[in-house]
Structure 1
Amino acid sequence: MPNALELKAVSKRYGARTALDGVNLSVEEGQTIAVLGPNGAGKSTLLNIALGLLPATSGSATVLGRKPADALRGGRVGVLLQESGLLEDVPVKELIAAGAGMYPKPLPVELTMRAARVDDLATRPIGKLSGGQRQRVRFALALIGDPDLLVLDEPTVGLDVEGRRALWQEVRARRHTTLFATHYLTEADDYADRVILLAGGRIVADGPVDTIKSLVGGLEVRFTLDGADTGPLWTLPGVLRVRVEGGTAVLQTAASDATLRALFAALPDVRDVRTAGTDLESAFMTLTGGA
Protein backbone atom coordinates (compact mmCIF):
# COMPACT_ATOMS: atom_id res chain seq x y z
CA MET A 1 0.00 0.00 0.00
CA PRO A 2 1.39 3.43 -0.88
CA ASN A 3 1.78 5.99 1.86
CA ALA A 4 -0.91 8.64 2.18
CA LEU A 5 1.77 11.28 1.55
CA GLU A 6 5.40 11.05 0.51
CA LEU A 7 7.76 14.01 0.16
CA LYS A 8 11.29 13.34 -1.04
CA ALA A 9 13.94 16.08 -0.78
CA VAL A 10 11.31 18.76 -1.45
CA SER A 11 12.58 22.34 -1.66
CA LYS A 12 10.73 25.50 -2.57
CA ARG A 13 12.47 28.78 -3.30
CA TYR A 14 11.08 32.21 -4.07
CA GLY A 15 14.01 34.05 -5.60
CA ALA A 16 16.67 34.24 -2.90
CA ARG A 17 14.30 33.07 -0.15
CA THR A 18 14.03 29.38 0.69
CA ALA A 19 10.61 28.40 2.07
CA LEU A 20 11.32 24.65 2.24
CA ASP A 21 14.78 23.13 2.27
CA GLY A 22 15.11 19.44 1.38
CA VAL A 23 12.11 18.13 3.33
CA ASN A 24 11.60 14.36 3.54
CA LEU A 25 8.29 13.18 4.97
CA SER A 26 6.37 9.89 4.91
CA VAL A 27 2.80 9.77 6.23
CA GLU A 28 1.19 6.36 6.69
CA GLU A 29 -2.53 5.90 6.19
CA GLY A 30 -4.66 6.43 9.29
CA GLN A 31 -2.32 8.85 11.07
CA THR A 32 -3.30 12.29 12.37
CA ILE A 33 -0.27 14.53 11.99
CA ALA A 34 0.20 18.10 13.21
CA VAL A 35 2.55 20.39 11.29
CA LEU A 36 3.83 23.03 13.69
CA GLY A 37 6.25 25.91 13.40
CA PRO A 38 6.59 29.67 13.81
CA ASN A 39 5.31 32.06 11.15
CA GLY A 40 7.38 31.69 7.99
CA ALA A 41 8.59 28.20 8.88
CA GLY A 42 7.11 26.70 5.69
CA LYS A 43 3.91 25.05 6.99
CA SER A 44 1.50 26.41 4.36
CA THR A 45 4.08 25.88 1.61
CA LEU A 46 4.42 22.23 2.61
CA LEU A 47 0.63 21.73 2.58
CA ASN A 48 0.23 23.48 -0.78
CA ILE A 49 2.92 21.31 -2.38
CA ALA A 50 1.28 18.21 -0.89
CA LEU A 51 -1.98 19.31 -2.55
CA GLY A 52 -0.40 20.06 -5.92
CA LEU A 53 -1.32 23.73 -5.59
CA LEU A 54 2.34 24.76 -5.67
CA PRO A 55 5.14 23.14 -7.69
CA ALA A 56 8.27 22.19 -5.78
CA THR A 57 11.49 23.81 -6.95
CA SER A 58 13.14 20.42 -6.52
CA GLY A 59 12.23 17.02 -5.13
CA SER A 60 9.01 15.04 -5.53
CA ALA A 61 5.63 14.60 -3.83
CA THR A 62 3.06 11.81 -4.09
CA VAL A 63 -0.37 11.42 -2.48
CA LEU A 64 -1.76 7.88 -2.18
CA GLY A 65 0.72 6.79 -4.82
CA ARG A 66 -0.35 9.46 -7.32
CA LYS A 67 0.69 12.95 -8.27
CA PRO A 68 -0.91 15.35 -5.75
CA ALA A 69 -3.02 17.15 -8.35
CA ASP A 70 -4.32 13.83 -9.70
CA ALA A 71 -5.30 12.64 -6.20
CA LEU A 72 -7.07 15.98 -5.61
CA ARG A 73 -8.95 15.82 -8.93
CA GLY A 74 -9.87 12.19 -8.21
CA GLY A 75 -11.73 13.25 -5.06
CA ARG A 76 -9.40 11.41 -2.67
CA VAL A 77 -8.33 14.55 -0.77
CA GLY A 78 -10.48 16.85 1.36
CA VAL A 79 -9.10 20.34 1.90
CA LEU A 80 -9.70 23.22 4.30
CA LEU A 81 -7.35 26.12 3.62
CA GLN A 82 -6.86 29.38 5.50
CA GLU A 83 -7.66 31.51 2.47
CA SER A 84 -10.56 29.80 0.71
CA GLY A 85 -13.39 31.95 -0.60
CA LEU A 86 -17.06 31.01 -0.48
CA LEU A 87 -19.92 32.13 -2.75
CA GLU A 88 -21.59 34.86 -0.74
CA ASP A 89 -25.14 34.66 -2.17
CA VAL A 90 -25.52 30.86 -2.12
CA PRO A 91 -27.40 29.15 0.76
CA VAL A 92 -25.35 26.75 2.85
CA LYS A 93 -27.12 23.52 1.84
CA GLU A 94 -27.06 24.45 -1.85
CA LEU A 95 -23.29 25.09 -1.71
CA ILE A 96 -22.56 21.80 0.05
CA ALA A 97 -24.82 19.91 -2.38
CA ALA A 98 -22.92 21.48 -5.28
CA GLY A 99 -19.68 20.36 -3.66
CA ALA A 100 -21.04 16.82 -3.36
CA GLY A 101 -21.71 16.80 -7.12
CA MET A 102 -17.98 17.15 -7.79
CA TYR A 103 -17.09 13.79 -6.20
CA PRO A 104 -17.65 10.26 -7.47
CA LYS A 105 -18.91 8.86 -4.14
CA PRO A 106 -19.87 11.75 -1.85
CA LEU A 107 -21.32 11.44 1.61
CA PRO A 108 -25.02 12.31 2.08
CA VAL A 109 -25.42 16.07 2.28
CA GLU A 110 -27.58 16.01 5.41
CA LEU A 111 -25.14 13.70 7.21
CA THR A 112 -22.22 15.95 6.33
CA MET A 113 -24.04 19.07 7.46
CA ARG A 114 -24.80 17.47 10.84
CA ALA A 115 -21.17 16.36 11.18
CA ALA A 116 -19.95 19.92 10.55
CA ARG A 117 -22.72 21.39 12.73
CA VAL A 118 -24.19 23.54 9.94
CA ASP A 119 -27.54 21.74 9.58
CA ASP A 120 -29.28 24.63 11.35
CA LEU A 121 -27.85 27.05 8.75
CA ALA A 122 -29.16 25.19 5.69
CA THR A 123 -31.14 28.06 4.12
CA ARG A 124 -28.92 30.92 5.24
CA PRO A 125 -26.77 32.62 2.55
CA ILE A 126 -23.02 32.36 3.09
CA GLY A 127 -22.77 36.15 3.22
CA LYS A 128 -24.91 36.20 6.37
CA LEU A 129 -22.64 33.84 8.34
CA SER A 130 -20.17 34.68 11.08
CA GLY A 131 -16.49 33.79 10.76
CA GLY A 132 -16.89 30.64 12.85
CA GLN A 133 -19.95 29.54 10.86
CA ARG A 134 -18.06 29.99 7.59
CA GLN A 135 -15.27 27.84 8.96
CA ARG A 136 -17.76 25.08 9.74
CA VAL A 137 -19.05 25.28 6.15
CA ARG A 138 -15.47 24.92 4.88
CA PHE A 139 -15.11 21.86 7.07
CA ALA A 140 -18.30 20.38 5.57
CA LEU A 141 -16.90 20.95 2.08
CA ALA A 142 -13.69 19.16 3.11
CA LEU A 143 -15.71 16.15 4.34
CA ILE A 144 -18.36 15.87 1.63
CA GLY A 145 -16.27 13.79 -0.80
CA ASP A 146 -15.52 11.13 1.85
CA PRO A 147 -11.78 11.62 1.27
CA ASP A 148 -8.94 9.26 2.12
CA LEU A 149 -6.74 12.22 3.14
CA LEU A 150 -7.82 15.38 4.96
CA VAL A 151 -5.54 18.42 4.72
CA LEU A 152 -6.51 21.17 7.18
CA ASP A 153 -4.70 24.51 7.44
CA GLU A 154 -5.62 26.24 10.71
CA PRO A 155 -9.01 24.44 10.78
CA THR A 156 -10.34 25.88 14.06
CA VAL A 157 -9.60 29.57 13.49
CA GLY A 158 -12.72 31.51 14.45
CA LEU A 159 -14.36 28.60 16.29
CA ASP A 160 -15.26 28.73 19.97
CA VAL A 161 -14.09 26.06 22.39
CA GLU A 162 -17.13 23.87 21.83
CA GLY A 163 -16.76 24.19 18.06
CA ARG A 164 -13.09 23.20 18.17
CA ARG A 165 -13.86 20.15 20.26
CA ALA A 166 -16.68 19.08 17.95
CA LEU A 167 -14.51 19.42 14.85
CA TRP A 168 -11.74 17.25 16.30
CA GLN A 169 -14.18 14.65 17.57
CA GLU A 170 -15.52 14.34 14.03
CA VAL A 171 -12.03 14.08 12.53
CA ARG A 172 -11.00 11.37 14.98
CA ALA A 173 -14.27 9.44 14.58
CA ARG A 174 -13.88 9.19 10.81
CA ARG A 175 -10.30 7.87 11.00
CA HIS A 176 -9.13 9.63 7.85
CA THR A 177 -5.46 10.23 7.37
CA THR A 178 -5.25 13.85 8.51
CA LEU A 179 -2.49 16.39 8.04
CA PHE A 180 -3.13 19.70 9.80
CA ALA A 181 -1.28 22.91 10.55
CA THR A 182 -2.22 24.88 13.66
CA HIS A 183 -1.02 27.59 16.01
CA TYR A 184 -3.05 26.03 18.83
CA LEU A 185 -0.43 23.76 20.40
CA THR A 186 -2.99 22.20 22.74
CA GLU A 187 -4.75 20.80 19.65
CA ALA A 188 -1.57 19.05 18.55
CA ASP A 189 -1.05 17.77 22.09
CA ASP A 190 -4.61 16.47 22.39
CA TYR A 191 -5.34 15.11 18.91
CA ALA A 192 -2.17 14.39 16.92
CA ASP A 193 -0.58 10.96 16.72
CA ARG A 194 2.59 12.60 15.45
CA VAL A 195 4.10 16.08 15.31
CA ILE A 196 6.23 17.53 12.50
CA LEU A 197 8.05 20.61 13.77
CA LEU A 198 9.32 23.01 11.11
CA ALA A 199 11.78 25.88 11.53
CA GLY A 200 13.52 27.74 8.75
CA GLY A 201 12.03 25.48 6.10
CA ARG A 202 13.45 22.30 7.64
CA ILE A 203 12.04 19.56 9.86
CA VAL A 204 13.73 19.98 13.23
CA ALA A 205 11.71 17.32 15.07
CA ASP A 206 9.40 14.50 14.04
CA GLY A 207 7.62 11.98 16.25
CA PRO A 208 4.83 11.36 18.77
CA VAL A 209 4.06 14.28 21.09
CA ASP A 210 5.76 12.61 24.06
CA THR A 211 8.89 12.04 21.97
CA ILE A 212 8.99 15.72 20.97
CA LYS A 213 8.72 16.71 24.64
CA SER A 214 11.49 14.29 25.60
CA LEU A 215 13.89 15.91 23.14
CA VAL A 216 14.00 18.90 25.49
CA GLY A 217 14.10 16.78 28.63
CA GLY A 218 14.08 17.68 32.32
CA LEU A 219 11.44 19.55 34.30
CA GLU A 220 10.30 23.14 34.29
CA VAL A 221 10.40 25.54 37.21
CA ARG A 222 8.16 28.59 36.80
CA PHE A 223 7.92 31.61 39.09
CA THR A 224 7.07 35.30 39.10
CA LEU A 225 10.16 37.34 38.25
CA ASP A 226 9.09 40.90 39.17
CA GLY A 227 11.80 42.49 37.05
CA ALA A 228 14.76 40.77 38.71
CA ASP A 229 17.97 40.26 36.76
CA THR A 230 17.87 36.94 34.89
CA GLY A 231 21.67 36.66 34.76
CA PRO A 232 22.04 34.70 38.05
CA LEU A 233 19.42 32.20 36.91
CA TRP A 234 21.82 30.70 34.39
CA THR A 235 24.27 29.87 37.18
CA LEU A 236 21.77 27.82 39.22
CA PRO A 237 22.64 24.11 39.41
CA GLY A 238 20.91 21.90 36.88
CA VAL A 239 19.59 24.77 34.73
CA LEU A 240 19.68 24.01 31.01
CA ARG A 241 17.69 26.94 29.64
CA VAL A 242 16.14 30.19 30.85
CA ARG A 243 13.11 31.82 29.26
CA VAL A 244 11.12 34.87 30.32
CA GLU A 245 7.43 35.20 29.40
CA GLY A 246 6.06 38.53 30.55
CA GLY A 247 6.66 38.60 34.29
CA THR A 248 7.23 34.84 34.55
CA ALA A 249 10.60 33.09 34.42
CA VAL A 250 10.75 29.52 33.13
CA LEU A 251 13.78 27.39 33.94
CA GLN A 252 14.43 24.10 32.18
CA THR A 253 16.35 21.97 34.65
CA ALA A 254 17.87 18.51 34.84
CA ALA A 255 17.99 18.64 38.66
CA SER A 256 14.87 20.34 39.99
CA ASP A 257 15.62 19.83 43.70
CA ALA A 258 19.05 21.44 43.45
CA THR A 259 17.68 24.22 41.25
CA LEU A 260 14.91 25.05 43.73
CA ARG A 261 17.22 25.13 46.76
CA ALA A 262 19.63 27.46 44.97
CA LEU A 263 16.79 29.59 43.62
CA PHE A 264 15.38 30.31 47.08
CA ALA A 265 18.87 31.09 48.35
CA ALA A 266 19.62 33.49 45.48
CA LEU A 267 16.16 35.11 45.34
CA PRO A 268 14.53 34.79 48.78
CA ASP A 269 11.51 36.87 47.71
CA VAL A 270 10.64 34.64 44.77
CA ARG A 271 6.94 33.72 44.65
CA ASP A 272 4.37 31.66 42.76
CA VAL A 273 6.88 28.86 42.27
CA ARG A 274 5.63 25.72 40.55
CA THR A 275 7.18 22.76 38.77
CA ALA A 276 5.87 20.63 35.92
CA GLY A 277 6.98 18.29 33.19
CA THR A 278 7.95 19.83 29.88
CA ASP A 279 4.86 20.72 27.82
CA LEU A 280 4.59 20.94 24.04
CA GLU A 281 4.78 24.73 24.07
CA SER A 282 8.12 24.65 25.89
CA ALA A 283 9.45 22.02 23.51
CA PHE A 284 8.24 24.13 20.57
CA MET A 285 9.96 27.25 21.89
CA THR A 286 13.21 25.43 22.57
CA LEU A 287 13.42 23.45 19.33
CA THR A 288 12.53 26.42 17.11
CA GLY A 289 14.93 28.76 18.88
CA GLY A 290 12.21 30.70 20.69
CA ALA A 291 10.58 31.94 17.48
Structure 2
Amino acid sequence: MDENQGLLAVDAAGLRKSFGSVRAVESVDLRVRPGEIVAFLGPNGAGKTTTIDMLLGLSDPDGGAVRVFGESPRAAISHGLVSAVLQTGGLLKDITVRETLALTASLFADTRPIEEVMQRAGISDLRSRRVGLCSGGQQQRLRFAMALLSDPGLLILDEPTTGMDVEGRRAFWSAIRADAARGRTVLFATHYLDEADEYADRIVLMSRGRIVADGSTAEIKNLVSGRIVRATLPGADPARLAGLPGVDDVEFAGDRISIHTKNSDAVARHLLTETAARDVEITSQNLESVFLALTSEGASA
Protein backbone atom coordinates (compact mmCIF):
# COMPACT_ATOMS: atom_id res chain seq x y z
CA MET A 1 0.00 0.00 0.00
CA ASP A 2 2.91 2.39 0.72
CA GLU A 3 3.86 3.21 -2.89
CA ASN A 4 0.40 4.70 -3.44
CA GLN A 5 0.45 7.17 -0.57
CA GLY A 6 1.16 10.16 -2.84
CA LEU A 7 -1.92 9.52 -4.99
CA LEU A 8 -5.59 10.04 -4.26
CA ALA A 9 -7.28 6.74 -3.44
CA VAL A 10 -10.34 7.95 -5.38
CA ASP A 11 -10.40 10.85 -7.82
CA ALA A 12 -13.80 11.11 -9.52
CA ALA A 13 -14.95 14.18 -11.42
CA GLY A 14 -18.26 14.91 -13.10
CA LEU A 15 -19.56 11.34 -12.96
CA ARG A 16 -22.91 10.85 -14.70
CA LYS A 17 -24.96 7.72 -15.26
CA SER A 18 -28.49 7.25 -16.58
CA PHE A 19 -30.67 4.20 -17.09
CA GLY A 20 -33.12 5.13 -19.80
CA SER A 21 -34.88 8.28 -18.64
CA VAL A 22 -33.71 7.82 -15.02
CA ARG A 23 -30.68 9.90 -14.06
CA ALA A 24 -29.08 7.76 -11.37
CA VAL A 25 -25.93 9.89 -10.90
CA GLU A 26 -25.53 13.53 -11.89
CA SER A 27 -22.21 15.36 -11.86
CA VAL A 28 -20.63 13.64 -8.84
CA ASP A 29 -17.19 14.82 -7.72
CA LEU A 30 -15.54 12.63 -5.08
CA ARG A 31 -11.96 12.67 -3.85
CA VAL A 32 -10.76 10.33 -1.11
CA ARG A 33 -7.29 10.61 0.40
CA PRO A 34 -5.28 7.54 1.41
CA GLY A 35 -6.03 6.39 4.95
CA GLU A 36 -9.50 7.97 5.16
CA ILE A 37 -12.56 6.05 6.36
CA VAL A 38 -15.49 7.50 4.42
CA ALA A 39 -19.17 6.69 4.92
CA PHE A 40 -21.34 6.95 1.82
CA LEU A 41 -24.91 7.70 2.88
CA GLY A 42 -28.20 8.29 1.11
CA PRO A 43 -31.75 6.95 0.83
CA ASN A 44 -32.65 4.13 -1.55
CA GLY A 45 -32.33 5.39 -5.10
CA ALA A 46 -29.87 8.15 -4.19
CA GLY A 47 -27.19 6.77 -6.53
CA LYS A 48 -24.77 5.23 -4.01
CA THR A 49 -24.54 1.76 -5.54
CA THR A 50 -24.38 3.14 -9.08
CA THR A 51 -21.47 5.38 -8.04
CA ILE A 52 -19.71 2.45 -6.35
CA ASP A 53 -20.18 0.33 -9.48
CA MET A 54 -18.38 3.03 -11.48
CA LEU A 55 -15.57 3.23 -8.90
CA LEU A 56 -15.12 -0.54 -9.26
CA GLY A 57 -15.27 -0.55 -13.05
CA LEU A 58 -18.45 -2.63 -13.00
CA SER A 59 -20.23 0.13 -14.89
CA ASP A 60 -18.90 2.78 -17.27
CA PRO A 61 -19.97 6.39 -16.64
CA ASP A 62 -21.93 8.24 -19.32
CA GLY A 63 -19.78 11.27 -18.53
CA GLY A 64 -16.92 12.28 -16.28
CA ALA A 65 -13.91 10.23 -15.23
CA VAL A 66 -12.65 8.23 -12.26
CA ARG A 67 -9.15 7.19 -11.23
CA VAL A 68 -8.19 4.88 -8.39
CA PHE A 69 -4.61 5.46 -7.19
CA GLY A 70 -4.00 7.13 -10.54
CA GLU A 71 -5.27 4.17 -12.59
CA SER A 72 -8.53 3.23 -14.24
CA PRO A 73 -10.80 1.18 -11.92
CA ARG A 74 -10.28 -2.03 -13.92
CA ALA A 75 -6.51 -1.58 -13.92
CA ALA A 76 -6.48 -0.83 -10.20
CA ILE A 77 -8.43 -4.03 -9.52
CA SER A 78 -6.17 -6.13 -11.76
CA HIS A 79 -3.16 -4.76 -9.86
CA GLY A 80 -4.75 -5.59 -6.49
CA LEU A 81 -5.04 -1.94 -5.45
CA VAL A 82 -8.77 -2.07 -4.69
CA SER A 83 -11.09 -4.78 -3.39
CA ALA A 84 -14.78 -4.83 -2.54
CA VAL A 85 -17.08 -6.48 -0.03
CA LEU A 86 -20.55 -6.57 -1.58
CA GLN A 87 -23.86 -7.70 -0.10
CA THR A 88 -24.33 -11.02 -1.86
CA GLY A 89 -22.83 -13.47 -4.32
CA GLY A 90 -19.37 -14.78 -4.99
CA LEU A 91 -19.34 -17.75 -2.58
CA LEU A 92 -19.41 -21.49 -3.26
CA LYS A 93 -21.46 -23.13 -0.52
CA ASP A 94 -19.98 -26.65 -0.67
CA ILE A 95 -16.31 -25.86 0.01
CA THR A 96 -14.71 -24.76 3.25
CA VAL A 97 -13.73 -21.26 4.32
CA ARG A 98 -10.03 -22.01 3.86
CA GLU A 99 -10.60 -23.66 0.47
CA THR A 100 -12.51 -20.54 -0.62
CA LEU A 101 -9.58 -18.33 0.29
CA ALA A 102 -7.08 -20.67 -1.40
CA LEU A 103 -9.17 -20.60 -4.59
CA THR A 104 -9.34 -16.80 -4.51
CA ALA A 105 -5.60 -16.51 -3.81
CA SER A 106 -4.85 -18.60 -6.91
CA LEU A 107 -6.25 -15.75 -9.04
CA PHE A 108 -3.48 -13.35 -7.95
CA ALA A 109 0.24 -13.41 -8.61
CA ASP A 110 1.01 -12.30 -5.06
CA THR A 111 -1.21 -12.40 -1.95
CA ARG A 112 -1.06 -12.13 1.80
CA PRO A 113 -0.89 -15.48 3.65
CA ILE A 114 -4.27 -17.17 4.04
CA GLU A 115 -3.80 -17.70 7.77
CA GLU A 116 -3.07 -13.98 8.18
CA VAL A 117 -6.21 -12.77 6.40
CA MET A 118 -8.37 -15.26 8.30
CA GLN A 119 -6.98 -13.95 11.57
CA ARG A 120 -7.52 -10.32 10.54
CA ALA A 121 -11.10 -11.06 9.48
CA GLY A 122 -11.83 -12.97 12.71
CA ILE A 123 -12.64 -16.29 11.02
CA SER A 124 -9.63 -18.48 11.94
CA ASP A 125 -11.90 -20.79 13.91
CA LEU A 126 -14.08 -21.29 10.83
CA ARG A 127 -11.32 -22.50 8.48
CA SER A 128 -12.76 -26.04 8.15
CA ARG A 129 -16.44 -25.08 8.04
CA ARG A 130 -18.32 -25.35 4.78
CA VAL A 131 -19.39 -21.92 3.57
CA GLY A 132 -23.03 -22.99 3.33
CA LEU A 133 -23.03 -23.65 7.08
CA CYS A 134 -21.72 -20.18 7.95
CA SER A 135 -24.10 -17.48 9.13
CA GLY A 136 -24.68 -14.34 7.07
CA GLY A 137 -22.30 -12.38 9.26
CA GLN A 138 -19.63 -15.07 9.00
CA GLN A 139 -19.97 -15.11 5.22
CA GLN A 140 -19.50 -11.33 5.13
CA ARG A 141 -16.32 -11.68 7.19
CA LEU A 142 -15.18 -14.34 4.70
CA ARG A 143 -15.78 -11.83 1.88
CA PHE A 144 -13.71 -9.36 3.90
CA ALA A 145 -10.88 -11.89 4.17
CA MET A 146 -11.10 -12.52 0.41
CA ALA A 147 -10.83 -8.77 -0.18
CA LEU A 148 -7.71 -8.57 2.00
CA LEU A 149 -5.79 -11.22 0.05
CA SER A 150 -4.39 -8.76 -2.51
CA ASP A 151 -3.53 -6.29 0.29
CA PRO A 152 -5.49 -3.50 -1.41
CA GLY A 153 -4.90 0.16 -0.68
CA LEU A 154 -8.66 0.81 -1.02
CA LEU A 155 -11.45 -1.34 0.38
CA ILE A 156 -15.00 -0.59 -0.79
CA LEU A 157 -17.94 -1.94 1.21
CA ASP A 158 -21.49 -1.78 -0.18
CA GLU A 159 -24.07 -2.22 2.62
CA PRO A 160 -21.79 -4.84 4.20
CA THR A 161 -23.87 -5.54 7.33
CA THR A 162 -27.36 -5.73 5.83
CA GLY A 163 -29.24 -8.59 7.48
CA MET A 164 -26.73 -9.09 10.28
CA ASP A 165 -27.79 -9.19 13.90
CA VAL A 166 -26.28 -6.74 16.37
CA GLU A 167 -23.52 -9.13 17.44
CA GLY A 168 -22.61 -9.90 13.83
CA ARG A 169 -22.42 -6.19 12.95
CA ARG A 170 -20.22 -5.51 15.97
CA ALA A 171 -17.83 -8.35 15.10
CA PHE A 172 -17.63 -7.29 11.46
CA TRP A 173 -16.88 -3.65 12.27
CA SER A 174 -14.34 -4.64 14.89
CA ALA A 175 -12.43 -6.47 12.16
CA ILE A 176 -12.77 -3.56 9.71
CA ARG A 177 -11.69 -0.97 12.27
CA ALA A 178 -8.61 -3.00 13.29
CA ASP A 179 -7.59 -3.33 9.66
CA ALA A 180 -8.22 0.35 8.87
CA ALA A 181 -5.90 1.25 11.75
CA ARG A 182 -3.09 -0.22 9.61
CA GLY A 183 -3.59 2.62 7.12
CA ARG A 184 -5.99 1.13 4.60
CA THR A 185 -8.49 3.45 2.90
CA VAL A 186 -12.12 2.41 3.45
CA LEU A 187 -15.20 3.67 1.61
CA PHE A 188 -18.46 2.15 2.82
CA ALA A 189 -22.09 2.60 1.89
CA THR A 190 -24.56 1.89 4.68
CA HIS A 191 -28.12 2.65 5.69
CA TYR A 192 -27.22 2.23 9.38
CA LEU A 193 -26.55 5.81 10.46
CA ASP A 194 -25.00 4.68 13.74
CA GLU A 195 -22.28 2.88 11.75
CA ALA A 196 -21.41 6.09 9.92
CA ASP A 197 -21.45 8.08 13.15
CA GLU A 198 -19.19 5.62 14.98
CA TYR A 199 -16.70 4.45 12.36
CA ALA A 200 -16.29 7.14 9.69
CA ASP A 201 -13.77 9.99 9.62
CA ARG A 202 -15.86 11.65 6.95
CA ILE A 203 -19.43 11.42 5.65
CA VAL A 204 -20.53 11.90 2.05
CA LEU A 205 -24.30 12.24 1.70
CA MET A 206 -26.03 11.58 -1.63
CA SER A 207 -29.56 12.48 -2.63
CA ARG A 208 -31.23 12.36 -6.05
CA GLY A 209 -27.98 11.43 -7.77
CA ARG A 210 -25.93 14.27 -6.31
CA ILE A 211 -23.64 14.79 -3.33
CA VAL A 212 -25.52 17.17 -1.02
CA ALA A 213 -23.10 17.17 1.93
CA ASP A 214 -19.48 16.21 2.52
CA GLY A 215 -17.53 16.63 5.75
CA SER A 216 -16.75 15.27 9.20
CA THR A 217 -19.60 13.98 11.34
CA ALA A 218 -19.55 17.22 13.37
CA GLU A 219 -19.59 19.34 10.20
CA ILE A 220 -22.50 17.37 8.76
CA LYS A 221 -24.52 17.74 11.96
CA ASN A 222 -23.93 21.50 11.93
CA LEU A 223 -25.52 21.81 8.48
CA VAL A 224 -28.96 21.74 10.08
CA SER A 225 -29.30 24.55 12.58
CA GLY A 226 -31.17 24.48 15.84
CA ARG A 227 -31.81 21.96 18.57
CA ILE A 228 -34.52 19.53 19.62
CA VAL A 229 -36.54 20.15 22.78
CA ARG A 230 -38.33 17.06 24.10
CA ALA A 231 -40.83 16.93 26.93
CA THR A 232 -43.79 15.02 28.33
CA LEU A 233 -46.91 17.19 27.96
CA PRO A 234 -50.36 15.57 28.04
CA GLY A 235 -52.93 17.49 26.03
CA ALA A 236 -50.37 19.69 24.27
CA ASP A 237 -51.70 22.35 21.91
CA PRO A 238 -50.00 21.74 18.52
CA ALA A 239 -50.86 25.18 17.11
CA ARG A 240 -49.59 27.00 20.20
CA LEU A 241 -46.29 25.11 20.17
CA ALA A 242 -45.81 25.54 16.42
CA GLY A 243 -46.33 29.29 16.85
CA LEU A 244 -43.50 29.76 19.33
CA PRO A 245 -40.53 31.84 18.11
CA GLY A 246 -38.00 29.82 16.09
CA VAL A 247 -40.02 26.58 15.96
CA ASP A 248 -39.57 24.64 12.71
CA ASP A 249 -41.47 21.44 13.46
CA VAL A 250 -43.44 19.73 16.24
CA GLU A 251 -43.77 15.94 16.51
CA PHE A 252 -46.01 13.93 18.85
CA ALA A 253 -45.68 10.39 20.20
CA GLY A 254 -48.45 9.97 22.76
CA ASP A 255 -47.80 12.49 25.53
CA ARG A 256 -44.20 12.97 24.41
CA ILE A 257 -43.43 15.98 22.20
CA SER A 258 -40.33 16.80 20.13
CA ILE A 259 -39.89 20.41 19.01
CA HIS A 260 -37.27 21.32 16.38
CA THR A 261 -36.31 24.92 17.02
CA LYS A 262 -33.68 27.59 16.45
CA ASN A 263 -34.51 29.11 19.86
CA SER A 264 -34.39 26.24 22.34
CA ASP A 265 -34.11 28.56 25.35
CA ALA A 266 -37.40 30.29 24.55
CA VAL A 267 -39.18 26.99 23.94
CA ALA A 268 -37.88 25.46 27.16
CA ARG A 269 -38.81 28.59 29.11
CA HIS A 270 -42.36 28.45 27.72
CA LEU A 271 -42.76 24.77 28.55
CA LEU A 272 -41.47 25.18 32.10
CA THR A 273 -43.39 28.36 32.98
CA GLU A 274 -46.55 28.25 30.89
CA THR A 275 -47.39 24.55 30.75
CA ALA A 276 -47.38 21.41 32.87
CA ALA A 277 -44.51 19.90 30.86
CA ARG A 278 -42.10 17.60 32.66
CA ASP A 279 -38.93 15.67 31.74
CA VAL A 280 -37.75 18.52 29.51
CA GLU A 281 -34.61 17.73 27.49
CA ILE A 282 -32.59 19.83 25.02
CA THR A 283 -30.35 18.00 22.53
CA SER A 284 -28.33 18.94 19.47
CA GLN A 285 -29.28 17.70 16.02
CA ASN A 286 -28.26 14.08 15.45
CA LEU A 287 -27.14 12.46 12.23
CA GLU A 288 -30.62 11.06 11.59
CA SER A 289 -32.30 14.45 11.72
CA VAL A 290 -29.69 15.93 9.37
CA PHE A 291 -30.08 12.96 7.00
CA LEU A 292 -33.84 13.45 6.87
CA ALA A 293 -33.59 17.19 6.43
CA LEU A 294 -31.14 16.97 3.52
CA THR A 295 -32.71 14.01 1.69
CA SER A 296 -36.44 14.13 2.40
CA GLU A 297 -37.56 15.90 -0.79
CA GLY A 298 -37.53 13.66 -3.83
CA ALA A 299 -35.66 10.90 -2.03
CA SER A 300 -37.05 8.26 -4.35
CA ALA A 301 -35.45 9.79 -7.42
Common fold: TM-score over 0.5:
yes
Q: 2:249 aligns with which of 219, 235, 242?
A: 242
Which residue matches 1:197? 205
Which residue matches 2:264? 256
- Counting only pairs closer than 5 Å after superposition, residues 166-245 of structure 1 correspond to structure 2 as 166-224=174-232, 230-239=238-247, 241-242=248-249, 244=251
Greater CA drift, 202-211 or 74-83: 74-83
What are the superposed Cα offsets for residues 139-193 of structure 1, whole Å, 9 maximum, x if unpaired?
A: 1111121101000011223153331442333233222111100111111111111
1:278 maps to 2:285: yes
Which residue matches 1:92? 97
Report the number of matched residues: 289
Distance 1:275 1:133 in 2: 41
Greater CA drift, 205-214 or 169-178: 169-178
Distance 1:68 1:25 in 2: 14
Q: Quick one: which amino acid aligns to residue 47 of structure 1?
A: I
| 1:227–1:101 distance in 2 versus 1, CA, 3 Å | farther
Which residue matches 2:133? 128
Unaligned runs of 5+ in 2: 1-5
Contact 1:233–1:242 (8 Å) recurs in 2:
no
Distance 1:31 1:49 in 2: 20
Contact 2:11–2:66 (8 Å) recurs in 1:
yes
| 1:229–1:102 distance in 2 versus 1, CA, 3 Å | farther
Distance 1:166 1:243 in 2: 38
| 1:103–1:231 distance in 2 versus 1, CA, 3 Å | farther
% same residue: 43
Q: Quick one: which amino acid aligns to residue 53 of structure 1?
A: L
Contact 1:82–1:154 (8 Å) recurs in 2:
yes
Q: 1:163 aligns with which of 151, 171, 191?
A: 171
Which residue matches 1:110? 115
Contact 2:268–2:280 (8 Å) recurs in 1:
no
Contact 1:139–1:155 (8 Å) recurs in 2:
no
1:19 maps to 2:27: no
Query: By how many angstroms is 1:7 displaced?
Result: 1.2
Query: By how many angstroms is 1:221 displaced?
Result: 1.4
Q: 1:287 aligns with which of 284, 294, 297?
A: 294
Contact 1:30–1:176 (8 Å) recurs in 2:
yes
Distance 2:235 2:149 in 1: 54
Secondary structure class of the residue paired with 1:60? strand
Q: Quick one: which amino acid aligns to residue 51 of structure 1?
A: L
Greater CA drift, 106-115 or 225-234: 225-234
Secondary structure class of the residue paired with 1:236? coil
Query: By how many angstroms is 1:8 displaced?
Result: 1.0
Query: By how many angstroms is 1:85 displaced?
Result: 3.0
TM-score (norm 2): 0.88
| 1:134–1:257 distance in 2 versus 1, CA, 3 Å | same
Query: By how many angstroms is 1:29 displaced?
Result: 1.2
